[in-house]
Structure 1
Amino acid sequence: MPSIHFLTSGKTIEVQPDANLLRTSIRYEGSVPFKCGGGLCGTCRVRIVDGQENLSKVMKKELDRLGNESIDQGYRLACQTFIAGDVTIAWDVADLERRNKIAQRRIANSTQ
């Protein structure tokens, strides 16, 4: 079974193949930050430290939120990413407050 190592929170979890990264984090307290869970806000942005080849293809929502440069640097949206093999991820805790403010604006704008 594939495993996800949440480097920032120090947790490692074994998962079924094709498990969603954010849902797994929520279910097993991996601590990936999130607001919407649907690719709108970008709060669940994580950096793939190891195992990029074991992830689903990049989704359009990820391209829209992150851009090619961030994706090329190894960033993904956990809510849009599925696991096919072992992966290690991390996220920037210091940047979280800024991303939360941006997320709140994006969510508010999407409901208007």
Structure 2
Amino acid sequence: MPVIKYDTSGKTIEVAENANLLRTSIRYEGSVPYKCGGGLCGTCRVRVVDGQEHLSKVMKKEIDRLGQDNIDQGYRLACQTFITGDVTIAWGDKDLERLDKIAKRRINAASS
């Protein structure tokens, strides 16, 4: 079974193939930050440290929220990403405040 290593929180979780990074984090307290869980806000942005080849293809929502440059640098939205093998991901605490502001703005715009 594949293993997800949440580098920032120090959690390592064995999961079924095709597990979602965010749902697994929520279920097993991996601590990936998130607000909406549906690809709208971008707060679940993670950097793939290892195992990029074991991830689902990049979704349009990820390109819209992250931009191609960030995706090329190894960033993904945890809510849109599924795994087929071992991966290690990380996220930065310094990004959390900025991401929170972006999320609130996007969620408010979507509900208007």
- Range of TM-score over shorter length: over 0.9
Distance 1:95 1:70 in 2: 13
Q: Are residues 1:32 and 2:32 paired?
A: yes
Superposition RMSD in Å = 0.4
Distance 1:95 1:50 in 2: 20
Please list every run of 5 or more consecutive structure 1 residues that lacks an aligned counterpart in the other structure: none
Equivalent residue, structure 1, for 2:81: 81
SS in 2 for 1:4: strand
Distance 1:95 1:66 in 2: 13
Distance 2:44 2:31 in 1: 10
Length-normalised TM-score, structure 2: 0.99
Shift of residue 27, structure 1, vs aligned partner: 0.1
Please list every run of 5 or more consecutive structure 2 residues that lacks an aligned counterpart in the other structure: none
Equivalent residue, structure 2, for 1:92: 92
Equivalent residue, structure 2, for 1:9: 9
Counterpart code for 2:19 = A
Counterpart code for 1:80 = Q
SS in 1 for 2:92: coil
Length-normalised TM-score, structure 1: 0.99
Equivalent residue, structure 2, for 1:103: 103
Shift of residue 95, structure 1, vs aligned partner: 1.2
Runs (4+) of structure 1 exceeding 4 A deviation are none
